[in-house]
Amino acid sequence: MSTSENVLDVRDLSVSFNTARGSLRALRHIDLKVPQNKIVGIVGESGCGKSTLINSLLRLLAPNAVVDDNSEIIFEGEDVMEMGKSDLQGLRGQRISMIFQDPMTALNPVISIGAQMSDILYRQKLTKAQKRERAAAMLAQVGIPDSVRRLDDYPHQFSGGMRQRICIAMALMMNPSLLIADEPTTALDVTLEAQIIHLMKELREDFECSMLFVSHNLGLIAELCDEVIVMYAGEVVEQGNVHDLFHRAQHPYTQMLLECDPARISETRKDLPTISGSVPDLVDLPQGCIFSPRCPKRYEPCNESPPGTFEVGGQHSARCFKVRDA
Ligand SMILES: Nc1ncnc2c1ncn2[C@@H]1O[C@H](COP(=O)(O)OP(=O)(O)O)[C@@H](O)[C@H]1O
Ligand code: SF4
Ligand SMILES: [Mg+2]
């Protein structure tokens, strides 16, 4: 492990997909840092590249994906792009764990919860009884009542909210350095969603673990995260700490997301507010700023070339000419 304080440091990551229409430029020059013991939120409309970004981190991209040569993904001081097969196996599920939108995708329906949890510990020199004990303790920690008895139950015997709790327990069992949650509460109703977020907040006190939390719910991001990354059409358009970003948003896209939200960040809503116009074609990108076709604030420079990333102050930056010219 390096001495750097970032568990994850993604630099200049660009990913394209080969398609019949040509190269689809799904991610362009992404920079992303996850500091130790911090929760970083990623927010953006469907199709903006959130899952492509996460799959890149674990090198689980579709076969038609091409990662640009300049891209660097440094995890605990090691370049994931340079890792061999066995290093990657050690990475997935052990050093980096995932929680998905649908808990059933992560659970095997025909194996009891206790057996699935014990299987995760296959590398550890523990007796069967000790593994069961660990599993029961983890279930109790995520709020599953009567945890010892419930080890013998199957996934369908739990409610949706309980299943997501089990997935969280499983993700934490390996003591990962990084936990990635890809829209973990989207399939749940608002009450259960609030409970899961509350649980995640509690757990972060007990487990020293950094987290990447993907959501299209601004309210959840504000509640849980330390830092936020706003993505639009394959680019990071703004990033900063939660407070700066929600109170001093600079990018017109972020501003529109917040303005559309009637109660601003306190209102928990299921979807991102709709902004008129549509996301640009990633096979045929506009020449200037990626947001210019929808931007109410565009002016002369916006159509000529894409803006760089400009510092707003501190760790807060935005990809917009207005910040440069302010
Ligand atoms: N294997 C693939 N081949 C072609 N295009 C893809 C592939 N996977 C994703 N895409 C495209 O890449 C873009 C980003 O998708 P994705 O990362 O799934 O976005 P999000 O998770 O934010 O909804 C979309 O335009 C999507 O259609
Ligand atoms: S660079 Fe121009 S078009 Fe792009 S977001 Fe800023 S003001 Fe709008
Ligand atoms: Mg996705």
User: Which tens digits make up the pLDDT trace of 255-279?
Assistant: 988 876 544 544 444 556 667 777 8
The verdict on the CB of residue 49 being under 6 Å from ligand 1 is yes
Q: Is residue 281 part of a domain?
A: yes
Same domain, yes or no, for 302 and 319? yes
Residues with CB under 6 A from ligand 2: 251-252, 289, 291-292, 295, 297-298, 302, 307, 320-322
Specify whether 157 is located in the same domain as 202.
no
**Is the same domain home to 163 and 42?**
no
Residues 13, 50 contacting (CB under 8 angstroms): no
**Closest residue CA from atom 27 of ligand 1:** 47
Domain total for the chain? 2
Looking only at the bridges linking them, the beta strands covering 39-43 and 210-215 are parallel
pLDDT tier, 3 (very low <50, low <70, confident <90, very high otherwise): very low
The number of beta carbons lying within 10 Å of the beta carbon of residue 155 is 20
Identity at 165, one-letter amino acid code: R
295/219 Cα distance (integer angstroms): 23
Rounded-to-integer distance, Cα 233 and Cα 159, Å: 35
Determine the average pLDDT of the residues in 162-176: 91
12-50 confidence digits (pLDDT tens): 999 999 999 999 999 999 999 999 999 999 998 888 999
Q: Write the Ramachandran bin of 20: left for phi over 0, alpha for psi from -120 to 50, otherwise beta.
A: alpha
Ligand 1 neighbourhood includes 54 CB (under 6 angstroms) = no
What's the pLDDT score for residue 267?
46
Q: Is 115 domain-assigned? A: yes
Do 158 and 197 lie in one domain? The reply is: no
Q: How many CA atoms lie within 13 A of 124 on its CB side?
A: 17
Identify the nearest ligand to the CA of 300 by its number: 2
The preferred substitution site among 236, 299, 302 for testing ligand 2, maximizing ligand atoms within 8 Å of CB, is 302
Cα distance between residue 6 and residue 226, in whole Å: 14
Q: Domain range for residue 90?
A: 36-53+83-95+178-325
Q: Is the pLDDT of residue 130 over 90?
A: yes
Query: According to the model, what pLDDT value does residue 1 have?
Result: 44
Lowest mean pLDDT among 1-10, 12-21, 184-193, 224-233: 1-10
Q: What pLDDT, on a 0 to 100 scale, did the predictor assign at position 201?
A: 87
For the cut 60, the answer to whether the pLDDT of residue 323 exceeds it is yes
**Residues 154, 183 within the same domain:** no
Rounded to an integer, the average pLDDT of 173-188 is 89
- Give residue 81 CA to ligand 2 midpoint distance, Å: 33
What is this structure's pTM?
0.91
Tell me which residue has its CA closest to atom 1 in ligand 2: 320
Same domain assignment for residues 278 and 320: yes
Same domain flag for 310 and 197: yes
Give 304's DSSP letter: T
Residue 67 forms part of a structural domain: no
314 alpha carbon to ligand 1 midpoint, in Å? Answer: 32
**Closest listed ligand to the CA of 324:** 2
**CA 53 / ligand 2 centre spacing (Å):** 23
Q: Which of 25-34, 201-210, 221-230 has the lowest mean pLDDT?
A: 201-210
- The reported pLDDT for the residue numbered 88 is 93
Domain boundary among 153, 173, 193: 173
Backbone angles phi, psi at 294, to 5 degrees: -115, 0
Model confidence at 285: pLDDT above 50: yes
Half-sphere exposure of 70 (CA within 13 A, CB side): 9
- Side chain identity at residue 152, one-letter code: D
| Amino acid letter for position 269 | R
Pairing of strands 78-79, 72-75: antiparallel
pLDDT score of 2: 44
Ligand 2 centroid vs 289 CA: distance in angstroms? Answer: 6
Query: Domain boundary residue among 148, 173, 198?
Result: 173
Say what the pLDDT of residue 273 is: 62
